[in-house]
Structure 1
Amino acid sequence: MTIFLILAPFGSFALLMLLTSAEISLFVAAAICLAVIGVDVYRGRSVKILGAGSVVVFAALGAYISLVDPNLSHSAVKLTVDVGVLAISLVSLIIRKPFVLQYALEEVDAETAKQPGFLKTVYLITWAWNAAFVLMIIGNVLPIYVPGLPLWSGLAIAFAARNSAAYFTAWYPQYRKAKHGKPPANALPGTN
């Protein structure tokens, strides 16, 4: 359910870009981001850097299109959103708070979060998402520079990249748990 809520604004944005204007797509995606943040706050969870940053990206780009350049191409809009999301993820790494960490801490118990491999797993999953964001950017750049490519090619790249990252996010923690198991009670610093 969590991954659905995280991806809902982006999936809605991609679908609406096929059906309506970029302006409407961006503002609806921003509203969905705000709704997801509202659900998190209602459940007593933290406001996530990805959600808050995405609201800013969607709303700012929507405002830019509304006020400055209403003729910005769909390709440029999608590219800007993907670059914005990649920037959010990279900033989260630079400040040493990978965006995946906030979600992970809400899904695992305190003992798991203290395990030596937990942060390594969070960083690896964040880098997997960065790779997916880069592939999505490539999927948006290709139709600009290779105009003969069919529209679906960029969508297929984005779909495959996003779904691969989502699969890896679910699979890798289970793999680590199966491979390494839980450490003995006294293996963690400060426990006896």
Structure 2
Amino acid sequence: MWPYATRGSRFMGDVSEISPSALVYEDFSTNAVSIKLWLPEKLVAAIDVLCNQHDASRPDVLRWILFEHVFGRVELAHLKRRMSARLKEMEKIEIMGSVRRSATEEGPTPREINARHLGKATEDLKLFLPARLKLELQDLADAAKQPLSDYLRAVLARHLLGERFFREWQAALAKANAEAARHESDIVLSR
């Protein structure tokens, strides 16, 4: 909702009639698989803002953003509406899993550009999510020819920090990669 809205039209009927969901929601009821994410400081701070605003945990916010990225905001609204109706019937259902930290440390590449734009990767998270969501995310990462963790970092940066920030970051990465390639070709030619 736009914070400066003065008026607006509202639909008072059943939203599932005008825009039915195409998803089977049972596919998303358990968080059976995990993905490993290195989250830079700037992304963690942005996620924490949303956690505070929506009174939600980091894993819940991450699943929400990734679900919306794959299936869209309307499907997320349908999922929330269905779960809200289900929660009214039952006392409380825990639909989101937990986050676990792993002991391994790996930095993103190219490290200097990412650190300058996003901050150091300080949070090593193991996020549990529905198997179908992970499969769809992996398909999108494969189509983008990126490792899943790099793809998810880019998705989160674009979603949380905006398109302008994302483009500046990507331009800096492209410039650094072009300079590295030119440097390598100079070395090969000098041999």
Q: Normalised by the shorter chain, which TM-score bucket?
A: under 0.3
Q: With CA pairs under 8 Å and 6+ residues apart, which has the higher RCO, 1 or 2?
A: 2
- Greater Cα radius of gyration, structure 1 or 2: 2
Q: Which has the larger strand fraction?
A: 2
Give me the TM-score of the superposition, normalised by structure 1.
Answer: 0.26
Give me the TM-score of the superposition, normalised by structure 2.
Answer: 0.26
